[in-house]
Amino acid sequence: MKNVLATLTSILLLQAAHAQIKEGTISYEQTADLHRRIPEENQQLRSMVPQFRTTKFELLFADNQSLYKAVEEEPDMTEQNNGGIVLRMGGGAENEYYRNYSSHKSVELRELMDELYLVEDSVRSIAWKLEEGETKVILGYTCKKATGKTSRGNDVVAWYCEDIPIAAGPEQFNGLPGLILLVDINKGEIVYVAKVIDKKIDRKKLKAPAKGKKIAPAEFLAKQNELMGNGPVRIVTN
């Protein structure tokens, strides 16, 4: 009888620990493999560029809203060394991604070549394919797999958690039946992974950005594509 009670207690504690989370703060790490855009035969260029670049972000969510932003200072989007190498990354230290999933409103603060732009739109997402039968445990939570392509044609694998019932995720990735805890672009070129799940949130921070020059989504995308090409990382030799 004691063994039965102990088992039932363990089950109830486990269920309580994994009850649905309606609000909180998720800490993410974004790791970019900078060498993926440099041909293997160009070892001289590879030796001048660090292979990996890791940045920390946080996602706040509550009341069917989310805000994703950097939590530490990033290097400038454009960096140049003495060898004439220009490294361009798709993310900026000022970037913020706000979503209201009830009103389907999206507001993004985007940094591009030291200019700040405010991009307002409806919430858009990848045409995801839900992969049946594949699961992964992240931070103790069982996640399901989805795949898709970005507007630039990059392959994306996402792992989402139905125990956190909000269609949010890192950066521009959203639209799944649960919070996205891991995103893998082009098989490791850029990976976003949740490192900490905190059930607390500073609600004062959960608001749409307001600064920056207002720009239409299509116009901003054209500017971004001109600078970045079709990939999340671009390395240019002068």
1-16 pLDDT per residue, tens: 555 454 544 444 444 4
Give the rounded distance of the alpha carbon of 13 from its chain centre: 31
Looking at residue 45, its pLDDT comes to: 82
Residue 176: Cβ within 10 Å count: 24
Ranking 5-19, 25-39, 116-130, 167-181 by mean pLDDT, the lowest is 5-19
* Of 133 and 88, more confident: 133
Looking at residue 224, its pLDDT comes to: 83
Looking at residue 91, its pLDDT comes to: 54
Query: Which tokens go with 166?
Result: 């909000």
**What percentage of residues in the chain have a pLDDT greater than 70?**
78
**pLDDT over threshold 70, residue 89:** no
Cβ-count burial of 132 within 10 angstroms (0-12 exposed, 13-18 middle, 19+ buried)? exposed
Q: Among 58, 17, 57, 61, which Cα is nearest to 165's?
A: 61
Domains of the chain: 21-237 (2.50.20)
What integer best gives the mean pLDDT of the chain? 84
Looking at residue 15, its pLDDT comes to: 46
- The Cα–Cα gap between 188 and 183 comes to 9
Report the amino acid identity of residue 210. A
**pLDDT over threshold 50, residue 111:** yes
Looking at residue 73, its pLDDT comes to: 56
Question: Given strand 129-138, what is the order of strands in its sheet?
Answer: 129-138, 141-149, 155-161, 179-185, 190-198, 24-33, 52-62, 65-70, 96-100, 105-112, 115-122, 213-215
**pLDDT over threshold 50, residue 115:** yes
Q: Among 99, 231, 117, which Cα is nearest to 173's?
A: 99
Question: Given strand 78-80, what is the order of strands in its sheet?
Answer: 78-80, 85-89, 233-237
**pLDDT over threshold 90, residue 207:** yes
